[in-house]
Amino acid sequence: MSLALFDLSGKRALITGSSQGIGFALARGLAKAGAEIVLNGRDKSKLGEAAATLRSEGHTIHELAVDVTDHDATRAAVDGFENETGAIDILVNNAGMQHRTPLEDFPADAFERLLQTNIASVFHVGQAVARHMIGRGYGKIVNICSVQTALARPGIAPYTMTKGAVANLTKGMATDWAKHGLQCNGLAPGYFDTPLNAALVNDPEFSAWLEKRTPAGRWGNVEELVGTCIFLSSEASSFVNGTTVFVDGGISVSL
């Protein structure tokens, strides 16, 4: 009975930015828990490769190639999918980007891209999907935050701002939509070996610092995010709403 709480069989999950990195790992993990998966990305070629990989493992995979920073295109894509294929029961808002520059020199165009990719996309996809979830009285939304939701580092102030905003938008989603049967929560990864962090992973000095700074003493593996995502996507979290769960090896709670 207890394990059945985590079973996602019969559910369909949309994961944005899921052709690589954390998004792909979460898509694979939710698929292994029984969910049908809707992969999303802007690059149709990369999306197709990711879908082929998961299909070869025996999973049911759909592809939704849409730029989630485009409000109208996102709304049309979600509405079209719901009408033609079926319900999206779980949404994981994972699409994101990073740009590293000292704040005094931070380019305005990079700042705008961060706003659109890291914050606006969560609003666009969240609203488009939630409108359908509300009508059914059920839905799970997991917004990917960051250890930078709680902490800052030099050179990424605008990124830190965006991830703080995602956590607060998550609270707003829960406040507005819990009465309709939705659970909306955040998942905040610490430092994981992903394409987004390639510059840091390849910096021996930073890696040495990180291992000393993190109580667990190492980088995270993306597969270690899957369990928390399954929990937040399943009946096991039926009364969890508006919170952000940090999966960071303890870095956010230690000095």
Q: Which residues are catalytic?
A: 159
Mind listing the pLDDT tens digit for each residue in 68-89? 999 999 999 999 999 999 999 9
Across-strand partners of 33? none
234 within a domain of the structure (yes/no): yes
> What pTM does this model have?
0.97
Distance, first Cα to last Cα, the chain: 40
Low-confidence winner among 26-30, 94-98, 198-202, 251-255 (lowest mean pLDDT): 198-202
Cα–Cα distance measured from residue 123 to residue 131, given in angstroms and rounded to the nearest whole number:
12
254 within a domain of the structure (yes/no): no
173 within a domain of the structure (yes/no): yes
Tokens of 131: 């409108």
255 within a domain of the structure (yes/no): no
**What is the 8-class DSSP label of residue 179?**
G
pLDDT value of residue 1: 54
Report the number of distinct structural domains present in the chain.
1
7 within a domain of the structure (yes/no): yes
CATH of the domain at 97: 3.40.50.720
Nearest to 75 by CA among 16, 136, 126: 126
Cα–Cα distance measured from residue 93 to residue 105, given in angstroms and rounded to the nearest whole number:
29
Domain that holds residue 98: 3-248
Question: Is the confidence at residue 196, as pLDDT, over 80?
Answer: no
Cα–Cα distance measured from residue 160 to residue 150, given in angstroms and rounded to the nearest whole number:
8
160 within a domain of the structure (yes/no): yes
242 within a domain of the structure (yes/no): yes
